[in-house]
Structure 1
Amino acid sequence: MEHYTDVRPRSNRTRSLTHASPLEVSLQEALDALGDPIRRRIVRELAGVPDWARACGTFAHLPVAKSTLSHHFSVLRNVGLLEQRDEGSRRLNRLRRDEFDGRFPGLLALVLDEERPDA
């Protein structure tokens, strides 16, 4: 008798994740992605925590629909600012600060300093 250890199909959710390298992104694409205030807020919030510490569900306080929030995460992934991985039922996030800074020096620092009172 044959034993099948992996009979469940892989999750479509995992297969749908694509991550762009910042090296593949133009300055205009990066500026377009960072032009949205919700995306800048996501970036600032991720910058304040360790890698992989925030799940997508922890951003429910933002004033957009869940589907719109998913779109914002996708845009950030597609410009190389965000990396995501699935862990159980949660999708965790990591800000790709070093990689993005290597491609666009100083741009991320401007976004992170935007909300500071002395900025």
Structure 2
Amino acid sequence: MRLTARFIAVVAAICGIASVASACGNDVATEPSKKSDPVVVEINFSGSSVDPRGDKVDVPVGHGVELDVTADAAGEVHVHSDPEQSAAYGVGTTRISLGTFDVPGQYEVESHSLGKTIVTLEVQ
């Protein structure tokens, strides 16, 4: 019986089942699979609406964040980080790298033109 349990644990670790089972689901961001992978947040602008709207995204300390922005008009996102960041996006899909977040805290990503918080990055 012990050998069977060890075998299952090894197979689960190899297949990544253990990490999938313990990860919290997140509809707007992909969990990084290793330390060097960034958290990717998908953002969609359509007219005067944006999706997601105020969702929280978990970011492990030391990971980068990238925004995949799809938009029907050009615009800009603003990140309340230290230092604060602004990044422009164009029509279509734009990948925006926000860099690495090394300090735990909450960082809002906003659209000032729409007056909306898109996501809050929860770095922990």
Please tell me the TM-score bracket, short chain as reference: under 0.3
Larger % of helix: which?
1
Greater length-normalized contact order (CA 8 Å, ≥ 6 residues apart): 1
Larger % of strand: which?
2
